A and B are shown apart, each in its own frame.
Chain A
Amino acid sequence: MSSESSPPAPRATSAVWAIFNREFAGYFRTPLAYVFLAVFNAFAISLAFFVGNIYEAGVANLDRFFLYHPWLWAFLAPAAGARLWAEERRQGTIELLLTWPISVWQVAVGKFLAAWLFLATALLITLPIAFTVGYLGDPDVGVIISGYLGSLLCAGACLGIASIASALTRNQVIAFVTGFLACFLLVLIGYGVFDEFISGLFTPNIIEEVRRIGLWRNLEPFTLGLVDLRPVAYFLTLSFGGLGLSTIIIERR
Protein backbone atom coordinates (compact mmCIF):
# COMPACT_ATOMS: atom_id res chain seq x y z
CA MET A 1 0.00 0.00 0.00
CA SER A 2 1.10 3.53 -0.44
CA SER A 3 -0.01 7.03 0.14
CA GLU A 4 0.42 10.11 -1.95
CA SER A 5 3.44 12.36 -1.41
CA SER A 6 5.24 9.69 0.58
CA PRO A 7 8.43 10.96 2.17
CA PRO A 8 11.37 8.66 1.45
CA ALA A 9 12.04 5.99 4.06
CA PRO A 10 15.40 6.51 5.77
CA ARG A 11 18.36 4.57 4.40
CA ALA A 12 19.56 1.78 6.67
CA THR A 13 23.19 2.93 6.68
CA SER A 14 22.38 6.55 7.50
CA ALA A 15 20.31 5.47 10.51
CA VAL A 16 23.10 3.18 11.76
CA TRP A 17 25.59 6.02 11.24
CA ALA A 18 23.40 8.51 13.15
CA ILE A 19 23.00 6.09 16.07
CA PHE A 20 26.71 5.26 16.01
CA ASN A 21 27.70 8.94 16.10
CA ARG A 22 25.35 9.77 18.96
CA GLU A 23 26.40 6.77 21.01
CA PHE A 24 30.14 7.22 20.51
CA ALA A 25 29.98 10.93 21.29
CA GLY A 26 27.73 10.04 24.25
CA TYR A 27 30.56 8.14 25.93
CA PHE A 28 32.69 11.27 26.00
CA ARG A 29 29.97 13.61 27.26
CA THR A 30 30.56 12.47 30.82
CA PRO A 31 33.80 12.20 32.83
CA LEU A 32 33.02 8.50 33.26
CA ALA A 33 34.49 7.71 29.83
CA TYR A 34 37.83 9.25 30.75
CA VAL A 35 37.82 7.43 34.07
CA PHE A 36 37.10 4.22 32.19
CA LEU A 37 39.97 4.77 29.76
CA ALA A 38 42.36 5.65 32.59
CA VAL A 39 41.33 2.61 34.65
CA PHE A 40 41.71 0.25 31.70
CA ASN A 41 45.11 1.66 30.84
CA ALA A 42 46.33 1.62 34.44
CA PHE A 43 45.21 -1.95 35.06
CA ALA A 44 46.43 -3.29 31.69
CA ILE A 45 49.92 -1.85 32.23
CA SER A 46 50.10 -2.57 35.98
CA LEU A 47 49.04 -6.19 35.61
CA ALA A 48 51.58 -6.73 32.84
CA PHE A 49 54.44 -5.18 34.85
CA PHE A 50 53.66 -6.07 38.45
CA VAL A 51 51.80 -9.39 38.12
CA GLY A 52 53.04 -10.67 34.78
CA ASN A 53 56.60 -9.35 35.37
CA ILE A 54 56.87 -8.50 31.71
CA TYR A 55 60.06 -6.51 32.28
CA GLU A 56 61.85 -9.13 34.38
CA ALA A 57 60.99 -11.90 31.88
CA GLY A 58 63.45 -10.32 29.46
CA VAL A 59 61.50 -11.49 26.41
CA ALA A 60 60.50 -9.00 23.74
CA ASN A 61 56.83 -9.94 23.39
CA LEU A 62 53.49 -8.97 24.89
CA ASP A 63 51.96 -12.33 25.83
CA ARG A 64 52.17 -11.43 29.54
CA PHE A 65 50.39 -8.20 28.71
CA PHE A 66 47.54 -9.90 26.85
CA LEU A 67 47.27 -12.68 29.48
CA TYR A 68 45.12 -10.42 31.70
CA HIS A 69 42.95 -8.93 28.99
CA PRO A 70 40.08 -11.43 29.38
CA TRP A 71 39.85 -10.36 33.05
CA LEU A 72 39.90 -6.70 32.11
CA TRP A 73 37.29 -7.07 29.37
CA ALA A 74 35.10 -9.23 31.60
CA PHE A 75 34.87 -6.28 33.97
CA LEU A 76 35.08 -3.28 31.67
CA ALA A 77 33.06 -4.39 28.64
CA PRO A 78 29.92 -4.87 30.79
CA ALA A 79 30.71 -1.50 32.42
CA ALA A 80 30.72 0.18 29.00
CA GLY A 81 27.86 -1.94 27.64
CA ALA A 82 25.47 -1.65 30.59
CA ARG A 83 24.09 1.63 29.28
CA LEU A 84 23.39 0.33 25.75
CA TRP A 85 19.69 -0.42 26.30
CA ALA A 86 19.21 0.04 30.05
CA GLU A 87 19.83 3.79 29.80
CA GLU A 88 17.35 4.13 26.92
CA ARG A 89 14.74 2.38 29.04
CA ARG A 90 15.50 4.48 32.10
CA GLN A 91 15.27 7.78 30.22
CA GLY A 92 12.23 6.65 28.24
CA THR A 93 14.03 7.44 24.98
CA ILE A 94 13.59 3.85 23.83
CA GLU A 95 10.00 4.87 23.08
CA LEU A 96 11.32 7.46 20.63
CA LEU A 97 13.81 5.10 19.03
CA LEU A 98 11.15 2.47 18.49
CA THR A 99 8.67 4.91 16.98
CA TRP A 100 11.12 6.56 14.58
CA PRO A 101 11.32 4.98 11.12
CA ILE A 102 14.29 2.76 11.88
CA SER A 103 14.48 -0.91 12.74
CA VAL A 104 15.68 -2.29 16.05
CA TRP A 105 18.63 -4.01 14.37
CA GLN A 106 19.83 -0.65 12.98
CA VAL A 107 19.77 0.79 16.48
CA ALA A 108 21.46 -2.31 17.90
CA VAL A 109 24.23 -2.32 15.27
CA GLY A 110 24.91 1.41 15.69
CA LYS A 111 25.06 1.07 19.47
CA PHE A 112 27.22 -2.04 19.39
CA LEU A 113 29.75 -0.60 16.93
CA ALA A 114 30.04 2.61 18.96
CA ALA A 115 30.64 0.67 22.17
CA TRP A 116 33.16 -1.57 20.43
CA LEU A 117 35.02 1.43 19.05
CA PHE A 118 35.07 2.90 22.54
CA LEU A 119 36.67 -0.30 23.86
CA ALA A 120 39.08 -0.22 20.90
CA THR A 121 40.02 3.33 21.95
CA ALA A 122 40.87 1.99 25.40
CA LEU A 123 43.02 -0.69 23.79
CA LEU A 124 44.68 1.82 21.49
CA ILE A 125 45.82 3.89 24.46
CA THR A 126 47.94 0.93 25.62
CA LEU A 127 50.04 1.07 22.43
CA PRO A 128 52.99 2.75 24.21
CA ILE A 129 53.70 -0.61 25.88
CA ALA A 130 54.15 -2.14 22.42
CA PHE A 131 56.47 0.71 21.43
CA THR A 132 58.40 0.24 24.67
CA VAL A 133 58.91 -3.45 23.97
CA GLY A 134 59.95 -2.51 20.43
CA TYR A 135 62.46 -0.01 21.82
CA LEU A 136 63.93 -2.43 24.36
CA GLY A 137 64.07 -5.50 22.14
CA ASP A 138 63.26 -6.84 18.72
CA PRO A 139 59.71 -8.20 18.94
CA ASP A 140 57.77 -9.84 16.12
CA VAL A 141 55.45 -7.04 15.02
CA GLY A 142 53.03 -9.53 13.47
CA VAL A 143 52.60 -11.29 16.84
CA ILE A 144 51.89 -7.97 18.56
CA ILE A 145 49.34 -7.02 15.90
CA SER A 146 47.60 -10.41 16.17
CA GLY A 147 47.59 -10.03 19.96
CA TYR A 148 45.85 -6.69 19.68
CA LEU A 149 43.41 -8.16 17.15
CA GLY A 150 42.61 -11.02 19.52
CA SER A 151 42.09 -8.64 22.42
CA LEU A 152 39.76 -6.49 20.32
CA LEU A 153 37.74 -9.56 19.32
CA CYS A 154 37.66 -10.66 22.98
CA ALA A 155 36.32 -7.22 23.90
CA GLY A 156 33.60 -7.59 21.26
CA ALA A 157 32.61 -10.98 22.66
CA CYS A 158 32.26 -9.57 26.20
CA LEU A 159 30.31 -6.64 24.75
CA GLY A 160 27.94 -9.06 23.02
CA ILE A 161 27.19 -10.66 26.39
CA ALA A 162 26.88 -7.23 28.02
CA SER A 163 24.37 -6.09 25.39
CA ILE A 164 22.10 -9.04 26.21
CA ALA A 165 22.27 -8.15 29.91
CA SER A 166 21.51 -4.50 29.10
CA ALA A 167 18.50 -5.43 26.96
CA LEU A 168 16.98 -7.39 29.81
CA THR A 169 16.72 -4.57 32.36
CA ARG A 170 16.30 -0.83 32.79
CA ASN A 171 18.74 -0.84 35.71
CA GLN A 172 22.34 -0.26 34.63
CA VAL A 173 23.76 -1.76 37.83
CA ILE A 174 21.84 -4.99 37.31
CA ALA A 175 22.88 -5.00 33.64
CA PHE A 176 26.53 -4.56 34.65
CA VAL A 177 26.50 -7.24 37.36
CA THR A 178 24.71 -9.76 35.12
CA GLY A 179 27.05 -9.09 32.22
CA PHE A 180 30.10 -9.24 34.43
CA LEU A 181 29.10 -12.58 35.99
CA ALA A 182 28.50 -14.15 32.56
CA CYS A 183 31.85 -12.88 31.23
CA PHE A 184 33.60 -13.83 34.48
CA LEU A 185 32.37 -17.40 34.04
CA LEU A 186 33.85 -17.50 30.53
CA VAL A 187 37.16 -16.23 31.93
CA LEU A 188 37.20 -18.84 34.69
CA ILE A 189 36.69 -21.66 32.21
CA GLY A 190 40.12 -22.91 31.32
CA TYR A 191 41.76 -21.87 34.57
CA GLY A 192 42.94 -24.52 37.03
CA VAL A 193 40.46 -23.59 39.73
CA PHE A 194 37.56 -24.13 37.36
CA ASP A 195 38.99 -27.42 36.07
CA GLU A 196 39.25 -28.67 39.66
CA PHE A 197 35.66 -27.65 40.30
CA ILE A 198 34.21 -29.52 37.31
CA SER A 199 36.66 -32.45 37.25
CA GLY A 200 34.45 -34.48 39.57
CA LEU A 201 31.32 -33.74 37.56
CA PHE A 202 32.27 -34.60 33.99
CA THR A 203 34.48 -36.95 31.99
CA PRO A 204 37.86 -35.64 30.72
CA ASN A 205 36.48 -35.41 27.17
CA ILE A 206 33.63 -33.17 28.25
CA ILE A 207 35.97 -31.06 30.39
CA GLU A 208 38.20 -30.53 27.37
CA GLU A 209 35.20 -29.43 25.31
CA VAL A 210 34.14 -27.02 28.06
CA ARG A 211 37.66 -25.56 28.15
CA ARG A 212 37.34 -24.67 24.48
CA ILE A 213 34.69 -22.06 25.30
CA GLY A 214 36.93 -20.19 27.73
CA LEU A 215 37.98 -16.68 26.72
CA TRP A 216 41.68 -17.19 27.37
CA ARG A 217 41.76 -20.49 25.49
CA ASN A 218 40.60 -18.60 22.41
CA LEU A 219 42.72 -15.50 22.96
CA GLU A 220 45.96 -17.39 23.55
CA PRO A 221 46.61 -18.35 19.88
CA PHE A 222 46.44 -14.65 18.93
CA THR A 223 49.13 -13.80 21.48
CA LEU A 224 51.35 -16.38 19.81
CA GLY A 225 50.79 -14.85 16.40
CA LEU A 226 48.23 -17.43 15.24
CA VAL A 227 45.04 -16.09 13.71
CA ASP A 228 43.01 -19.29 13.39
CA LEU A 229 39.52 -19.49 12.05
CA ARG A 230 38.15 -21.26 15.12
CA PRO A 231 38.90 -18.58 17.76
CA VAL A 232 37.91 -15.84 15.32
CA ALA A 233 34.59 -17.61 14.75
CA TYR A 234 34.22 -18.09 18.52
CA PHE A 235 34.65 -14.40 19.32
CA LEU A 236 32.49 -13.25 16.41
CA THR A 237 29.77 -15.73 17.37
CA LEU A 238 29.64 -14.30 20.89
CA SER A 239 29.74 -10.72 19.56
CA PHE A 240 27.10 -11.01 16.88
CA GLY A 241 25.13 -13.66 18.75
CA GLY A 242 24.85 -11.22 21.65
CA LEU A 243 23.96 -8.42 19.26
CA GLY A 244 21.28 -10.56 17.61
CA LEU A 245 19.83 -11.81 20.86
CA SER A 246 19.65 -8.32 22.36
CA THR A 247 17.85 -7.17 19.19
CA ILE A 248 15.30 -9.98 19.57
CA ILE A 249 14.80 -9.15 23.27
CA ILE A 250 14.07 -5.50 22.45
CA GLU A 251 11.81 -6.41 19.52
CA ARG A 252 9.75 -8.74 21.72
CA ARG A 253 9.45 -6.27 24.57
Chain B
Amino acid sequence: MALIEVKNLKKSYGAIHAVRGISFTVERGEVVGFLGPNGAGKSTTMKLIAGHLRADHGAANVASFDVSTHPIEAKTHLGYSPEGAPAYSEMTVREFLRFAADLRNLPNPSEKVKKTLALCRLNEVAHQTVDTLSKGYRMRLGFAQAVIHDPEVLILDEPTDGLDPNQKFEVRRILKEMASRKAVIVSTHILEEIDELCTRVIVIAHGEVRCDESKEQFLQRGTDLNEVFRKLTA
Protein backbone atom coordinates (compact mmCIF):
# COMPACT_ATOMS: atom_id res chain seq x y z
CA MET B 1 0.00 0.00 0.00
CA ALA B 2 1.31 3.42 -0.93
CA LEU B 3 1.74 5.63 2.11
CA ILE B 4 1.84 8.77 -0.02
CA GLU B 5 -0.46 9.19 -3.01
CA VAL B 6 -0.38 12.40 -5.00
CA LYS B 7 -2.95 12.73 -7.77
CA ASN B 8 -2.81 15.53 -10.31
CA LEU B 9 -1.92 18.24 -7.79
CA LYS B 10 -2.15 21.82 -9.02
CA LYS B 11 -1.38 25.04 -7.19
CA SER B 12 -1.11 28.60 -8.44
CA TYR B 13 -0.07 31.83 -6.75
CA GLY B 14 -1.97 34.38 -8.78
CA ALA B 15 -0.69 34.11 -12.33
CA ILE B 16 2.20 31.84 -11.33
CA HIS B 17 1.53 28.12 -11.78
CA ALA B 18 3.78 26.63 -9.10
CA VAL B 19 2.55 23.04 -9.44
CA ARG B 20 0.97 21.87 -12.72
CA GLY B 21 -0.60 18.47 -12.24
CA ILE B 22 1.93 16.39 -10.30
CA SER B 23 1.16 12.70 -9.59
CA PHE B 24 3.20 9.97 -7.89
CA THR B 25 3.03 7.43 -5.09
CA VAL B 26 5.56 6.48 -2.40
CA GLU B 27 5.59 3.04 -0.79
CA ARG B 28 6.85 2.09 2.65
CA GLY B 29 10.63 1.65 2.58
CA GLU B 30 11.15 4.13 -0.26
CA VAL B 31 13.24 7.26 0.16
CA VAL B 32 12.34 9.59 -2.68
CA GLY B 33 14.77 12.35 -3.55
CA PHE B 34 13.01 15.46 -4.81
CA LEU B 35 15.32 17.22 -7.22
CA GLY B 36 14.79 20.44 -9.09
CA PRO B 37 16.03 23.99 -9.47
CA ASN B 38 14.87 26.76 -7.15
CA GLY B 39 11.27 27.69 -7.83
CA ALA B 40 10.57 24.37 -9.55
CA GLY B 41 7.64 23.56 -7.25
CA LYS B 42 9.35 21.09 -4.87
CA SER B 43 8.57 22.95 -1.65
CA THR B 44 5.05 23.80 -2.79
CA THR B 45 4.38 20.12 -3.54
CA MET B 46 5.71 19.17 -0.11
CA LYS B 47 3.58 21.84 1.56
CA LEU B 48 0.52 20.56 -0.28
CA ILE B 49 1.16 16.99 0.91
CA ALA B 50 1.85 18.20 4.46
CA GLY B 51 -1.40 20.15 4.53
CA HIS B 52 0.19 23.56 4.91
CA LEU B 53 -1.26 24.72 1.60
CA ARG B 54 -4.53 23.84 -0.05
CA ALA B 55 -4.39 22.47 -3.57
CA ASP B 56 -6.36 24.22 -6.30
CA HIS B 57 -6.94 20.82 -7.88
CA GLY B 58 -6.12 17.18 -7.25
CA ALA B 59 -5.58 15.29 -4.01
CA ALA B 60 -2.81 14.21 -1.67
CA ASN B 61 -3.26 11.18 0.59
CA VAL B 62 -1.08 10.37 3.58
CA ALA B 63 -1.51 6.85 5.01
CA SER B 64 -4.75 6.63 2.99
CA PHE B 65 -6.17 9.82 4.48
CA ASP B 66 -6.97 12.70 2.18
CA VAL B 67 -5.07 15.72 3.54
CA SER B 68 -7.85 18.14 2.59
CA THR B 69 -10.83 16.15 3.88
CA HIS B 70 -9.17 14.29 6.82
CA PRO B 71 -6.34 16.66 7.76
CA ILE B 72 -6.03 15.65 11.43
CA GLU B 73 -5.82 11.92 10.64
CA ALA B 74 -3.38 12.52 7.78
CA LYS B 75 -1.14 14.79 9.87
CA THR B 76 -1.13 12.28 12.74
CA HIS B 77 0.79 9.91 10.44
CA LEU B 78 3.05 12.61 9.06
CA GLY B 79 6.33 14.15 10.16
CA TYR B 80 7.26 17.30 8.27
CA SER B 81 10.32 19.49 8.54
CA PRO B 82 9.94 22.74 6.58
CA GLU B 83 12.82 24.44 4.80
CA GLY B 84 15.08 26.21 7.31
CA ALA B 85 13.74 24.12 10.21
CA PRO B 86 11.71 26.86 11.93
CA ALA B 87 11.32 26.60 15.72
CA TYR B 88 10.33 28.89 18.59
CA SER B 89 13.47 30.86 19.26
CA GLU B 90 12.79 31.53 22.95
CA MET B 91 12.16 27.88 23.89
CA THR B 92 14.85 25.42 24.89
CA VAL B 93 15.38 22.35 22.73
CA ARG B 94 13.78 20.12 25.36
CA GLU B 95 10.80 22.47 25.80
CA PHE B 96 10.25 22.67 22.07
CA LEU B 97 10.21 18.89 21.68
CA ARG B 98 7.94 18.55 24.70
CA PHE B 99 5.60 21.09 23.09
CA ALA B 100 5.56 19.04 19.87
CA ALA B 101 4.87 15.87 21.89
CA ASP B 102 2.07 17.55 23.85
CA LEU B 103 0.43 18.91 20.72
CA ARG B 104 0.45 15.43 19.27
CA ASN B 105 -0.93 14.13 22.56
CA LEU B 106 1.73 11.41 22.64
CA PRO B 107 1.66 8.90 25.50
CA ASN B 108 4.69 9.19 27.84
CA PRO B 109 5.79 12.51 26.33
CA SER B 110 8.84 12.82 28.61
CA GLU B 111 10.07 9.43 27.44
CA LYS B 112 9.46 10.36 23.80
CA VAL B 113 11.44 13.59 24.24
CA LYS B 114 14.28 11.70 25.91
CA LYS B 115 14.45 9.12 23.11
CA THR B 116 14.30 11.76 20.39
CA LEU B 117 17.04 13.83 22.02
CA ALA B 118 19.23 10.72 22.05
CA LEU B 119 18.30 9.65 18.50
CA CYS B 120 19.09 13.06 17.04
CA ARG B 121 22.10 13.58 19.33
CA LEU B 122 20.68 16.73 20.81
CA ASN B 123 21.33 15.92 24.48
CA GLU B 124 24.24 18.31 24.84
CA VAL B 125 22.09 21.27 23.71
CA ALA B 126 18.83 20.14 25.36
CA HIS B 127 18.86 23.11 27.75
CA GLN B 128 19.90 25.71 25.19
CA THR B 129 17.33 28.04 23.68
CA VAL B 130 16.71 27.63 19.97
CA ASP B 131 18.11 31.06 19.12
CA THR B 132 21.53 30.03 20.47
CA LEU B 133 21.80 26.86 18.35
CA SER B 134 24.20 26.45 15.46
CA LYS B 135 22.65 25.72 12.08
CA GLY B 136 23.54 22.05 12.36
CA TYR B 137 21.76 21.62 15.68
CA ARG B 138 18.83 23.66 14.47
CA MET B 139 18.37 21.45 11.42
CA ARG B 140 18.60 18.40 13.66
CA LEU B 141 15.94 19.90 15.93
CA GLY B 142 13.68 20.38 12.90
CA PHE B 143 14.26 16.75 12.06
CA ALA B 144 13.66 15.73 15.70
CA GLN B 145 10.22 17.36 15.90
CA ALA B 146 9.31 15.57 12.67
CA VAL B 147 10.21 12.11 14.00
CA ILE B 148 9.21 12.41 17.67
CA HIS B 149 6.01 10.44 17.04
CA ASP B 150 7.74 7.86 14.81
CA PRO B 151 5.50 8.67 11.83
CA GLU B 152 4.96 6.39 8.84
CA VAL B 153 5.46 9.28 6.44
CA LEU B 154 8.36 11.73 6.56
CA ILE B 155 8.65 14.84 4.42
CA LEU B 156 11.89 16.78 4.78
CA ASP B 157 12.51 19.98 2.88
CA GLU B 158 16.26 20.36 2.40
CA PRO B 159 17.22 18.78 5.75
CA THR B 160 20.96 18.99 5.03
CA ASP B 161 20.99 22.49 3.54
CA GLY B 162 23.91 24.54 4.88
CA LEU B 163 25.34 21.75 7.03
CA ASP B 164 29.01 20.86 7.15
CA PRO B 165 30.04 17.35 5.97
CA ASN B 166 29.97 15.90 9.49
CA GLN B 167 26.51 17.29 10.18
CA LYS B 168 25.24 16.02 6.82
CA PHE B 169 26.60 12.60 7.66
CA GLU B 170 24.73 12.66 10.99
CA VAL B 171 21.37 13.58 9.43
CA ARG B 172 21.78 10.97 6.71
CA ARG B 173 22.74 8.34 9.29
CA ILE B 174 19.59 8.97 11.32
CA LEU B 175 17.45 8.98 8.21
CA LYS B 176 18.92 5.71 6.95
CA GLU B 177 18.28 4.08 10.31
CA MET B 178 14.57 4.67 10.11
CA ALA B 179 13.97 4.72 6.34
CA SER B 180 13.04 1.04 5.93
CA ARG B 181 9.94 1.49 8.07
CA LYS B 182 8.72 4.69 6.43
CA ALA B 183 7.82 6.43 3.22
CA VAL B 184 10.20 9.38 2.95
CA ILE B 185 10.43 12.38 0.64
CA VAL B 186 13.60 14.46 0.86
CA SER B 187 14.20 17.53 -1.24
CA THR B 188 17.80 18.36 -1.94
CA HIS B 189 20.12 20.34 -4.18
CA ILE B 190 22.97 17.97 -3.46
CA LEU B 191 23.09 15.44 -6.29
CA GLU B 192 25.54 13.18 -4.43
CA GLU B 193 22.90 12.76 -1.73
CA ILE B 194 20.81 10.76 -4.18
CA ASP B 195 23.32 7.94 -4.24
CA GLU B 196 23.86 7.97 -0.48
CA LEU B 197 20.31 8.33 0.72
CA CYS B 198 17.60 7.71 -1.85
CA THR B 199 16.01 4.66 -3.44
CA ARG B 200 14.12 6.68 -6.04
CA VAL B 201 14.39 10.05 -7.76
CA ILE B 202 11.69 12.50 -8.83
CA VAL B 203 12.92 15.50 -10.79
CA ILE B 204 10.58 18.48 -10.85
CA ALA B 205 10.92 21.52 -13.09
CA HIS B 206 8.43 24.26 -13.94
CA GLY B 207 5.85 22.60 -11.68
CA GLU B 208 5.92 19.28 -13.55
CA VAL B 209 7.47 15.86 -12.97
CA ARG B 210 10.29 15.53 -15.51
CA CYS B 211 11.59 12.19 -14.30
CA ASP B 212 10.38 9.55 -11.82
CA GLU B 213 12.61 6.47 -11.64
CA SER B 214 14.73 4.31 -9.36
CA LYS B 215 18.07 5.61 -8.15
CA GLU B 216 19.87 3.05 -10.27
CA GLN B 217 18.05 4.13 -13.45
CA PHE B 218 18.77 7.77 -12.66
CA LEU B 219 22.46 7.16 -12.07
CA GLN B 220 22.70 5.33 -15.41
CA ARG B 221 21.64 8.48 -17.24
CA GLY B 222 25.21 9.70 -17.14
CA THR B 223 28.37 10.01 -15.11
CA ASP B 224 28.04 13.79 -14.77
CA LEU B 225 24.95 14.21 -12.60
CA ASN B 226 25.05 17.99 -12.94
CA GLU B 227 24.74 17.61 -16.72
CA VAL B 228 21.90 15.09 -16.30
CA PHE B 229 20.16 17.53 -13.95
CA ARG B 230 20.58 20.44 -16.38
CA LYS B 231 19.13 18.46 -19.28
CA LEU B 232 16.14 17.24 -17.30
CA THR B 233 15.24 20.62 -15.86
CA ALA B 234 15.86 22.77 -18.93
Give Cα A2 to B91, complex, Å: 35
A93 touches B102 (CB 8 A): no
CB proximity to B under 8 Å, residues A90-125: 91-93, 95-96, 98-103
A14 touches B102 (CB 8 A): yes
Q: Is A127 an interface residue (CB 8 A)?
A: no
Q: How far is the CB of A109 from chain B (nearest CB, A)?
A: 14
Q: How far is the CB of B110 from chain A (nearest CB, A)?
A: 14
Interface centre among A10, A11, A14, A19 (most CB of B within 10 A): A10
- Chain A residues within an 8 Å CB radius of B71: 101, 103
- Chain A residues within an 8 Å CB radius of B65: 1-3
Q: Is B78 an interface residue (CB 8 A)?
A: yes
B64 touches A1 (CB 8 A): yes
Q: Which residue of A lies closest to B109 (CB)?
A: A18
Query: What secondary structure prevails in chain A residues at the interface with B?
Result: loop
Q: Of A22-30, A48-56, A180-188, which binds chain B? A: A22-30
Q: Please judge, given known A-B contacts A1-B70, A30-B90, whether A9 and B76 are in contact too, CB under 8 Å.
A: yes
CB proximity to A under 8 Å, residues B62-107: 63-66, 70-73, 75-78, 80, 82, 84, 86-91, 99-100, 102-105
Give Cα A104 to B132, complex, Å: 29
A22 touches B88 (CB 8 A): yes
A22 touches B86 (CB 8 A): no
Interface centre among A3, A92, A103 (most CB of B within 10 A): A3
Q: Is B149 an interface residue (CB 8 A)?
A: yes
Give Cα A11 to B105, complex, Å: 7
Q: Which residue of B lies closest to A1 (CB)?
A: B64
B100 touches A100 (CB 8 A): yes
- Chain A residues within an 8 Å CB radius of B88: 22, 26, 91, 93
B78 touches A3 (CB 8 A): no
A interface residues, tally (CB under 8 Å): 31
Give Cα A101 to B77, complex, Å: 9
**CB contacts between A and B, total, < 8 Å:** 94
Contact with A along B25-59 (1 / 0, CB 8 A): 00000000000000000000001001111000000
Give Cα A225 to B53, complex, Å: 49
Q: Is B145 an interface residue (CB 8 A)?
A: yes
Q: Which residue of A lies closest to B76 (CB)?
A: A101
A18 touches B90 (CB 8 A): no
- Chain B residues within an 8 Å CB radius of A15: 103, 105
A2 touches B64 (CB 8 A): yes
Could you list 25 examples of A-B contacts with CB < 8 Å? A1-B66, A1-B70, A2-B64, A6-B63, A6-B77, A7-B149, A10-B72, A14-B102, A14-B105, A91-B87, A91-B88, A91-B89, A92-B84, A95-B82, A95-B86, A96-B82, A99-B50, A99-B52, A99-B78, A100-B103, A100-B104, A101-B73, A101-B75, A101-B103, A103-B71
- Give the interface of A toward B (CB within 8 A): 1-3, 6-11, 14-15, 17-19, 21-22, 26, 29-30, 91-93, 95-96, 98-103, 253
- Give the interface of B toward A (CB within 8 A): 1, 47, 50-53, 63-66, 70-73, 75-78, 80, 82, 84, 86-91, 99-100, 102-105, 145, 149, 152
- Closest CB pairs A-B (n = 8): A92-B86, A10-B105, A101-B75, A18-B102, A3-B63, A99-B50, A95-B82, A101-B76
Apart from A2-B64, A6-B73, A98-B52, list 18 A-B contacts with CB within 8 A: A1-B66, A1-B70, A14-B102, A14-B105, A15-B103, A17-B102, A18-B102, A92-B82, A92-B86, A93-B87, A93-B88, A95-B52, A95-B86, A99-B52, A99-B82, A100-B100, A103-B71, A103-B72
